Structure 1
């Protein structure tokens, strides 16, 4: 019987895979703390010894169906169409999780949830998966999960429940990684960040969004996912990345509003182009 042994919210923005000298220059002499934060997250992963990482990817936008990437292996070179000068010819090579992906589709069919398994190994992967695996992967199987743009909160929770049941039917030890930002309102093209350290939270685009992020971080630390899910309309107004699908699907797999996994913040809260970012690990009892 499989089990979920850990979970985390993790940032993935392209600035994290730029050369260190660029990151330090943008940080006014200091690197983004999200880099060392990845090491802290990996230490938590090492403690629970998973064989599979499930990535909830906020850039793999699907329509009309939830999708999982179920090929046995993924290898290639990625150039971002959004930010090609930040990510160009980025090499990746990792195992998939085809058995778990097949179980996800099976459970979805049983529960009449619109979800399919994509087994084509030429499926284009997105950088919320690739960047996180670059820093956190150590040879584990990887299952990438999409963000259905026609879904609402209840649908994301249902898909998370499907994934949780599929994991239980498997023999996998799984860490869930919700790959995305918190508030995700970009600043305008001609905006000049008020703080010379680009990563500084003063540079988050909207003070109200930053205040909401601080409240959510506190609620996560208390394990009050019921309150965060109840306040989901506020998260959507703050443009939480991918409609908040990464967090909501992860919560569905962990029991939804009944989940009381306490969050441990493993990085500073930082800005990236106006968005709020942090790594938070959730202890699974």
Structure 2
């Protein structure tokens, strides 16, 4: 029987890649990088076989989709931020077996989901690639990437996908980590001023609500958070509609989850958005 051994909400800001480079911005995201490295160390200590990532940079329009192709390697440049994230090499191995199991269970439970493991040209998005880079994951753990930005799906569907992920894990023989890869609030400032917001939030109220949410997570106030989630996602421009977060809590047991989160990287604003690295005990 398989086991979920780690669950987390993680950042994927491309400024972490800049933080590695020589120049005036060297080191600016060191706390975020170190938080992801700690999570990577936890994965190795827990002998994780496969990492499942809900990626809010993968937009889909019809059905839920999974990328689990066996060979995942290449060189990535972001079309959104090519001046931040370019020519990043990566090499990973997919887990078609687990990906297909997730898709079949989710579909059987009423949420149409397709797993792609024979489409060689289907590329990974940076909501998957950036966290894996700083977790220090290469080909030592397998990867399943799930689209975490649904154009016209409600959060209930993503909750059900999260439940399907857990069921698939339990039916497997794998030790699995799940990452919800996305920001908290995600209001990027207007183009004329966005360059001034590398270390600032776009809306001060967003930051106050982000911090309130993180406090709820740390106190194990899951039920209260989930009652807030739809309005939070809408009013604070949650990244990808916060479908990654709905999958995360669906996986954890939704309002029955009582765990108290542990912060790996304290809250920080980045280009107007709210970011963190947080582990949810399982």
What band does the TM-score fall into relative to the shorter chain?
over 0.9
Distance 1:152 1:21, change over 3 A: same
User: Shift of the alpha carbon at 1:108?
Assistant: 2.3
Q: How does 1:73-222 map to 2 (within 5 A)?
A: 73-119=71-117, 120-136=119-135, 137-138=137-138, 139-147=140-148, 148-191=150-193, 198-199=198-199, 203-222=200-219
Cα distance between partner residues in 1 of 2:30 and 2:65: 32
Query: Which deviates the most, 104-113 or 123-132?
Result: 104-113
Contact map agreement 1:69 1:117 (CA 8 A) in 2: yes
Contact map agreement 1:56 1:179 (CA 8 A) in 2: yes
TM-score by length of 1: 0.91
Cα distance between partner residues in 2 of 1:92 and 1:151: 31
Distance 1:97 1:207, change over 3 A: same
Cα distance between partner residues in 2 of 1:19 and 1:30: 5
Structure 1: tracts of 5 or more residues without a match: none
User: Shift of the alpha carbon at 1:113?
Assistant: 1.6
Distance 1:205 1:275, change over 3 A: same
Contact map agreement 2:106 2:160 (CA 8 A) in 1: no
Q: Does 1:59 align with 2:44?
A: no
3-state SS in 2 of match to 1:248: helix
Contact map agreement 1:12 1:128 (CA 8 A) in 2: yes
Partner of residue 15, structure 1: 15
Matched residue count = 277
Contact map agreement 1:72 1:121 (CA 8 A) in 2: no
Cα distance between partner residues in 2 of 1:276 and 1:173: 30
